[in-house]
Structures are given as structure tokens and as C-alpha cells.
Amino acid sequence: MITSFYGILLIASVLIILFMIYKKYDNIEIHYWTVLILIPIILLGYWLKSQAQTVEGAFFSLCFIHIESTVLLATILFSILWFLRIRIPIWIKLLIYTCAFSHLFLVLYCIKNNMYYSSVELIQTVMGTYVKTTSGPLKIFHWIYLIGMTLIIIGILVYSLIKKGTYSKRSLYLYSTLTIIAILIYAVETIKNLQFTSLPILYIISDFMIALNYDHSRMHDITLLVSELQNTEGTIGYAAFDRLRNYLGCNKKIYEFIPELSLQNIDENLPEDSELANVFYRLMDNYILTGENSLLFNSDDITCQCEISEFNIRNNDLAGGYLFQVRDVTENQRILNITKDYNKTLNIEVAQKTAHIKLIQEKLVLGLANMIENRDDNTGGHVKRTSDIIRIIVQEVKNQGIYDINDQFIDDVIRAAPMHDLGKITIENSILRKPDKLTKEEYDTMKMHSVKSGEFVSIILNDVEEEHFVRIAFNIARYHHEHWDGRGYPEGLVGEMIPLEARIMAIADVYDALASKRSYKEAFDLNRVSKIMLDGMGSHFDPQMESVFIACLPELEAYYMNIKTF
């Protein structure tokens, strides 16, 4: 009786597989297929066990049944990880599957001895053959594996509740709930040594629910829906080639753009002198050599654009091949040609106007800076000198590559340098021109000029300059008196908390202050200036800038020697 029941369940599991085949899915995720195939094999084991006539036959059927707590359990674990979008290294998968299959081989190996089952007894009942087993010493490995996998699955479920991701909770809860129920049933029935298990019923229910869930999942799989729509109603032609330049296939749309492709054999190279090679191989070579990923070509009276990208279906960084997308851009090209000359003229006029406005703005800022400098009662030229030497320093920073900066950054720093002391306009003349050492109160007042400089830069530049320039100009104005060791002002920033542009400005500002005459001191000898600057590397200045400063010294000293000759 039980044999017939297990047979019905076995047939039902096979019908579910046939149902999935009948649905004609383009592809089925590998975990679904594995579970669907393993369940009939397990049910076959139960069917064989229920009519076993010999101990060896019963033992052999138990090998099929053990797939449920080894390979099937491992597959379900990987399914849950897949739902959670957790990608694990291949060696971990191999390790777990090795443990699972090793367990099966252990059961097979112990058919002729009593190491796994110390005894196997066949008892004939009205329901069918009952196989009574007594655990042997090696059975403990089965429980260790089963408990370990259970704890891992429970841990993953707890993680999924904490993570709260966008994964399919329906699929996750279906797999995890059925798995935990199956483990509990298995444990209870094993401990109580029941004659016949109810697990096959749970397996066929699970099989049916998994099949329905997959069908439901595909109905809501946006990737598949878009793929099918693109294949039937799309406007883009696709063609694929492997890394050896062999043609792999295409969709039908591409024949409208490149009819010759319909004659090309799969898994073969294109004829080298053909128009096909002139499009696909030329773009492939350009992409590999220069990174260029598109080209235009004409097909009859159609202008087409072909774009290339890499595809990879393996879990490594190597490209599996190249995917080409071809689309009709005739209308776009026509519009582009019409507007090309107009845009060119317009761009020239805009560039000229922009350059003119920028020149006016820079002259106004420079004039304001010079006016403030004259109030400071120094020998004059501080704004110009710092602008000149910061050009030398920032270019050397780029040359040495100690910081990743580009030409835009260099240009912004040079343009922003004259604004670094705009805040001095708020300082009284009695403090600015005082020949003696400032009192604490006067020094505190003087330190406020960097805060005011930042405020003035924001007022002058906001809404009229690009954001990146405003940011750099603000940082230079506000933070150029900060020290690497945190003893600067206005905020006492430490190390790389100080913006790079402010660290560069600090070197230019201090160097000129030391090398030039001020109301409170004479100009220092250039050798003494260099020693003071080098001593300050790591305390006042960024220590990374020491090599930059040393490389700039010959040009800086020549610059100041030239100034003194006039």
C-alpha cells in the first residue's frame, strides 16, 4: 500500500518536471532545476525501500534517500544565498558539495560493514516493507553535517531579517520554511524510529509550490520581460562574438541594418575583407586598443551606430566576449548635421564672452586684492608673487604625482590665490601696519581675516562661478593659515583635514612672507628661508610637500633673485 503511495508521489514529481519543460522557459535558474531533479530521485529511494527484499537492496535505497539531507540541503542553502544576492567564493561551494557527496560515498562504502548502520532489519507489514536501522559509529558525521547546515540556514535567515534588502521574500520564506519543517520532521521521526515517514508528502508539496513560485517569479521578472519585449518589438539589433572573434549569434532586427550577417556561420570568424569585418572587427580593435566603443557606418540610405560592450557569464573578471548593439540614427545624424555649423559658431561666441567676463572678474578681484595689500603697508607685490610661485608649486605637485590632481584643479588654485587675504579689508590699519609684535587681542583680531576672506569669496563668487572653483577659492581663503600639527587657525584643523589647496597656498604664502620685507621685519636671506620652510615640514606644512618644495627651490630662488635685481 505504501509502495503504491510512494509511486504516485514519484510520478507526480516527474509530471512537475514535464510541466516546467512544457512551459518552454528560455532558461531556468540552476537551483530550481537541481531541486526539481533531486526530489524524484529521493522519492525513488523511498519507493525502492518500501519494497526492498534484501538488506543490500534496502541499504542501496537508503543511499538515494540520503540525498535529501546532503546534496538537496546544500542546494537549498545556495538557493537562499542566491535569493539574498549574496555571492560566495567558488571554493566554499566546492567545499560544501564535497562534504555532501562524501557523505553519500560513505553510506555506499558501508554497505558491506556495520560502521554506518550497525544493523539493518527488514520487517514486512501490511503497509509495505519497513526498514529498521540502528545507527553505527559513523552516523555521527551525518548529524554533525545536518546540525551545521541547519545552523547556517538559520543564521542566514536572521541576517536576511536584519539586512531588509530588496530580494524576493516570497521565495526566501518558501524555501526556508519548507527546509526547516523537513529538518524537524526528519529529526522527530528518526528519534522516535517511526515505521514510515511523512517526508515524501512534504517533498511533493514543496516540489509543486516551488514550480508555482517559479512561474510567479517569472511573471514579475523585469529583466526577462524587457528581454522578451526587446527580442520581438525592439529597435536595436544585437550581435555577439567571443574573445577569439568567432560569431556567436544575433537577433533578427540586426538583419535590417546588416543583411549579410544572415549568411554568416555560427562559431566561425568573419571574412577579413568583408563589410562585416570592417564594422565589427574594426570596432573591436578600436575598443581593445583605445577604449573607443562606437562607430557610425552607412547601410544603403540608413546611417547606423554600432556600440560595443563586454559580456561575462562567469564569476571572474575576464570578458566572455563582445556584444554589439546596432541602431538607426539617420534622423539624429541629419539633425546633428543641420545644427553642427550653428553650434560651432555659437560655441565660439560663448567661449569668447565667457573668457571676457572671466578676465573682467579676475581684474576686479586682483584690483581689490592689491587695494587691501596697500593697506597692509608691506613692500607691495605679495598678491602677484604668491600667484606666481603657487603656479610653480602646484605644477610640481602634479609632476611628482604625490596627489591625484588634474589641470582643472591647477587652474582653479592659480585663479583663487589672489583672493586668499580679502578679509584683511576688515582689519584696522593700526593692527595691519603695526611694526611691533601684536598683543594677544590684536592677534586674535588679525586671525579673523581668514574667516572673513572665506565669507567674501562666497559672496563674490557664488552664483557666478562654477561650484568646483568656488569651493577651492573658499578653502584657500579660509584655511591657508591652518597648520599640519593642528596649531593653526581659524579652526585648528589637523593633517589631511586641511584641504589640499589650502596646504599648497600655505607654502606659497609663508615663503613669500619670509623672503619679502614687511612692516615688522626685513626680508630674510633665501638660505634661511629655505631652512625655516624645511624645518616646518610635518609641523606647519604637509610633510608630503617636502619633496615638492625641494624640487621647486631652484626656480623659487631664481624668481626672488630676479625681483631683487630690479
Q: Check whether 392 has a pLDDT greater than 90.
A: yes
Residue 343 falls within a domain, yes or no? no
Q: What grid cell was written down for 394? A: 602646484
Rounded to whole angstroms, the Cα distance separating 173 from 150 reads: 15
Mark whether 151 and 286 lie in a shared domain.
no
Across the range 271-289, mean pLDDT stands at: 89
Mark whether 80 and 206 lie in a shared domain.
yes
Across the range 415-438, mean pLDDT stands at: 80
- At 231, the pLDDT band (50, 70, 90 cuts) reads low
Q: For the chain, what is the mean pLDDT?
A: 80
Mark whether 251 and 219 lie in a shared domain.
no
Query: What's the pLDDT score for residue 493?
Result: 93
20-23: Cβ within 8 A, 24+ apart: 20/211, 20/214, 23/215
Mark whether 264 and 211 lie in a shared domain.
no
Mark whether 316 and 386 lie in a shared domain.
no
Choose the final residue of a domain: 224, 245, 275: 224
Mark whether 186 and 282 lie in a shared domain.
no
Instruction: List the CATH number of the domain containing 386.
Output: 1.10.3210.10
Which of the 8 DSSP states describes residue 120? E
DSSP characters over 199-228? HHHHHHHHHHHHHHHHHHHHHT-HHHHHHH
Residue 446 falls within a domain, yes or no? yes
φ/ψ bin of 198: left (φ > 0), alpha (ψ from -120 to 50), beta (otherwise): alpha
* Residue type, position 230, single letter: Q
Q: Check whether 544 has a pLDDT greater than 90.
A: yes
Q: Check whether 565 has a pLDDT greater than 50.
A: no
Q: Check whether 496 has a pLDDT greater than 60.
A: yes
Mark whether 85 and 125 lie in a shared domain.
yes
Residue 376 falls within a domain, yes or no? yes
Residue 333 falls within a domain, yes or no? no
Mark whether 217 and 259 lie in a shared domain.
no
Residue 342 falls within a domain, yes or no? no
Q: What is the pLDDT of residues 82-139, one digit of tens each?
A: 777 777 888 888 998 888 888 888 877 777 777 877 777 787 877 777 777 777 888 8
Return the C-alpha torsion angle 208, 211, 212, 218, nearest 10.
Answer: 180
Mark whether 195 and 88 lie in a shared domain.
yes
- At 475, the pLDDT band (50, 70, 90 cuts) reads very high
For residue 307, what are the β-bridge partners?
294, 325
Mark whether 193 and 56 lie in a shared domain.
yes
Residue 26 falls within a domain, yes or no? yes
Mark whether 208 and 290 lie in a shared domain.
no
- At 365, the pLDDT band (50, 70, 90 cuts) reads low
Q: Check whether 499 has a pLDDT greater than 90.
A: yes
Domain range enclosing 355: 348-564
Domain count for the chain: 3
Q: What is the pLDDT of residues 330-339, one digit of tens each?
A: 888 777 767 6
Rounded to whole angstroms, the Cα distance separating 358 from 352 reads: 10
Share of the chain above pLDDT 70, in %: 83
52 within 8 A of 93, measured Cβ to Cβ? no
Mark whether 420 and 320 lie in a shared domain.
no
Residue 40 falls within a domain, yes or no? yes
Which of the 8 DSSP states describes residue 464? T
Choose the final residue of a domain: 205, 224, 243: 224
Rounded to whole angstroms, the Cα distance separating 361 from 365 reads: 6
Cα-Cα end-to-end distance for the chain: 116
Say which residue, 565 or 532, is predicted with more confidence: 532
Q: What is the pLDDT of residues 338-359, one digit of tens each?
A: 766 666 666 777 666 666 556 5
Q: What grid cell was written down for 530? A: 629655505
Residue 337 falls within a domain, yes or no? no
For residue 67, which of 51, 90, 46, 89 has the smallest C-alpha distance?
Answer: 46
Q: What grid cell was written down for 163? A: 539586512
Q: Check whether 204 has a pLDDT greater than 60.
A: yes
Choose the final residue of a domain: 176, 193, 224: 224
Least confident segment among 24-33, 151-160, 407-416: 24-33
- The string over 234-268, giving b where at least 16 C-beta atoms fall within 10 Å of a residue's C-beta and e elsewhere, is beebbbbbeeebebeebeebbeebbeebeebeeee
Q: Cβ of 122: how many Cβ atoms within 10 Å?
A: 15
DSSP characters over 351-374? HHHHHHHHHHHHHHHHHHHHHHHH
Query: What's the pLDDT score for residue 428?
Result: 80
Query: What's the pLDDT score for residue 225?
Result: 46
Rounded to whole angstroms, the Cα distance separating 456 from 476 reads: 12
Query: What's the pLDDT score for residue 360?
Result: 53
